[in-house]
Amino acid sequence: MAAFRDILAATSGATPTIVLSEGADPRVAEAAVAASVANLAKIICIGDPALVQPALAAAGSVGDIAIEDPATSPRLPGYIAEYVRKRAAKGMTPEKAQLELSQANFFAAAMVAAGDADGTIGGAVYSTPDIIRAALKVIGTAEGTKLLSSFFFMLFEDRPDLPSPVNVFTDCGLVIDPSAEELADIAISSAESMRCLTGLEPKIAMLSFSTRGSAKHANVTKVSQATAMVQAARPDLVVDGELQFDAAMVPSVGAAKAPGSPVAGQANIFVFPNLDAGNIGYKIAQRFGGAKAIGPMLQGLARPANDLSRGCTADDIIDMICVTAAQAAVQKNT
C-alpha cells in the first residue's frame, strides 16, 4: 500500500485540505489523525465538537485537526447565500438551503465549493446516494462533463505476474446501464484519472462476454460500438474491445483470442458493460482474489468529492484521503 501512496504523492507538490463529513465516527477520527500526523493532508472534521473531540482524542490527536460544526459555523450564512444564488432557478430558498447545508455532508460539500477545502470524503455513515446528492447539488459537475461516473483502484500487491499492480475497474458504483456513448465517456474519463493520478499509461479493455465477435448479441454490439467511439474521440488512447476479462488480463489468453491486440493480456483499465457486472466483479476480485479496492472515486465533478463504503476501515479512509488529495493537486495544476 505504501507504494501506491507514493505513486499518488508524486502528483502533488502541496498539502491539500480535505474535509471529512463524519468526524465523530471512530474510523474517520482514526484516519484523520493518521493522515494529519503523516502530513498526507490538512484535515477538517465536520460535526458537533462535543462528539468529534473525544473521538479524535481517543485516536491520539494532538490538536492539529480543525472541527467545523454546521450548527455554529460563521461560514454557514455565506454558504447559504451562494447556494440560493446557484440554485435559484430550481426553486431554492434560504429556508431550504439552511436545512440542507446544516447537514454535515452538504456542509462539507459547501466548504469545497467555496474553496475553503480542496476535497471532501463521506460515506462511512451516510449512504452513497446521500454523498452523491450533496456533491452534485452543491459542488456540481465539471465544465464539459457529459456523465458523472466512478471507478475503483484495484491493487494486487503480491501478484508480480499481472501486467500492472495498479488497475482501474469502472463503473462499479454509479451508472447502472450505460449506453454505448456513456461507456465511451466512462472509458475516457477513467483513462484520464489513471494517467493524472498515477502517471501510468492507460490501456483500456472494453469488457464483454464476447471477444472480437465470438458471440452475437445486442449487449456485445454496444461494447464494440463504445470501443469505436473511444477510438474516434481519442485516437491517442490505447483501447480495444470487445474483450472477455481473461483475454484482457492474461497474455496467453489474449494472444489466442485477440492476436495483435494492443491491449489484450496487458490491460490496466477494465470497463464493465453495466453496474451488475462491475459491482459484482470488483467484489469478487476483492473477496476471492485478495485485491485491495479503493473507491468508489467520483469523476466528472467540478471539485473532488468521494464516497466510502459503510463497511470501510480506517485504513480504507486513509487511502481515500490520499486519492482525494491527489485529485485536488491535479486540479490545481491544470
Residue ranges covered by each domain of the chain: 2-140+303-332, 149-287
Task: Give domain 2-140+303-332's CATH architecture.
Answer: 3-Layer(aba) Sandwich (3.40)
Model confidence at 1, pLDDT cuts 50, 70, 90, reads very low
The per-residue pLDDT for range 286-298, each reduced to its tens digit, is: 999 889 898 889 9
Spatial contact of 143 and 302, defined as CB atoms under 8 Å apart:
yes
CATH topology of domain 149-287: Rossmann fold (3.40.50)
Query: Across the chain, where does the E strand assignment appear?
Result: 17-20, 42-46, 66-68, 119-122, 149-155, 166-170, 203-207, 238-243, 269-271, 292-299, 305-307
- Section 270-278 average pLDDT: 97
For residue range 197-249, list pLDDT tens digits in order. 888 899 999 999 999 989 999 999 999 999 999 999 999 999 999 999 999 99
β-strand partners of 153: 168, 294
Q: Of 283, 284, 253, which is closest to residue 266 (Cα–Cα)?
A: 253
Tell me if 2-140+303-332 shares its fold with 149-287: yes
